[in-house]
Amino acid sequence: MNDKEAARNAVQEFLSTRRDRTTPEQLGLPSSGTRRRVKGLRREEVALLAGISPEYYVRLERGQATGPSASVVDAISRVLGLDDDERTHLDRLLAALTPGTRRRVRPAPKETISPGVQVLLDSLDHLPAMVFNSRLDVLAFNDLARALYASVLPAEGPVNTARLLFLDEDRFRSLQPDWDDLADDAVSILRIEAGRRPDDPALTTLIGQLSTRSAAFRTRWAAANVRAHRGGSKTFQHPVVGHLVLPFENLTVDATGDQVLTVFTPQPGTPAHDSIQLLASLAVSGTRGPARTA
């Protein structure tokens, strides 16, 4: 498959999955009285609501209509309920089909952090922190983050969050009971990366491995959802300090936007903050401490 065919397939897959998730009722269209052969909107219905011809929308969804105007893409995005991440992803996919536009070949994500970022990471000795690249490889932990994730980390070798999530699911679920949300986010982030770097061999290998070995990954990948790195909170059932809910922030730490510093930020005075301080003291002393349950 050449680059143009791959780009057309990506556009078709993305737009068709967005149609499938959008019901006629959501947009005020009648759904009763006729037998529908599609889960969501028909192509003709998207065209009607977007104010374009059905023929043009069919060509666009198939990746055969190049250079659509911003107003057309705006209208289609509105009908399909695309959020900011999805709209950015669609723009990126359509740009790859525009005649005369040379697709920018992005270098592979870096697999090391700069000395300055390492200093910053080490200085956060009271908060768990780690650096990811856009393939979800963990490039570096500080000591407290390593203690937080110790029960799921391999004894040696590189760490990739998606591999941990999907290829060691039971063990990861025992540490983070909100596994399903984490899995959804991981696949959505990898979807964005696949749109940005379709020629990255390491990413292709990762997606192929996960697709082959994990039905949970295959199901999520087929949904074609996209989501950027953002802050939020994660739930842990830690074998040493027990149950805790940790808010976190994601900070871009390189000019390309390919490296993200994740810092867990429990507020002082909260149970989660106290638990992290206990974990920090045990990590410094090298003591595992008694296991706690929720």
Q: Of the CATH numbers 3.30.450.180, 3.20.20.10, 3.40.50.1820, 1.10.3720.10, which one belongs to the domain with range 115-285?
A: 3.30.450.180
* Residues of each domain in the chain carrying CATH 1.10.260.40: 3-95
Q: What secondary structure letter does DSSP report for 250?
A: E
Backbone φ, ψ for residue 110 (5° rounding): -65, 150
CA–CA dist 249, 127 (Å, integer): 11
Q: In the chain, what percentage of residues exceed pLDDT 90?
A: 64
Question: Strand ranges (DSSP E) for the chain?
Answer: 129-133, 137-141, 159-160, 232-238, 242-252, 259-264
* Average pLDDT, rounded, for the chain: 88
pTM of the model: 0.81
* Residues of each domain in the chain carrying CATH 3.30.450.180: 115-285
Pairing type for strands 242-252 and 137-141 reads unpaired
Task: Tell me how many degrees the CA angle 42-48-50 measures, rounded to the nearest 5.
Answer: 105
CA–CA dist 138, 221 (Å, integer): 21
pLDDT in tens, the chain (294 residues): 666 788 888 899 999 999 998 888 887 777 655 566 777 899 999 999 999 999 999 999 998 887 788 899 999 999 999 999 899 999 988 888 876 555 555 677 888 899 999 999 999 989 999 999 999 999 999 999 999 999 999 988 899 999 999 999 999 999 999 999 999 999 999 999 988 888 889 999 999 999 999 999 999 999 989 888 788 999 999 999 999 999 999 999 987 778 999 999 999 999 999 999 999 998 776 544 333 333
Q: What is 95-162 written as a DSSP string?
A: HTTSTTPPPP-PPPPPSS--HHHHHHHHH-TTS-EEEEETT-EEEEE-HHHHHHHGGGS-SSS-EEHH
Assigned CATH class of 3-95: mainly alpha
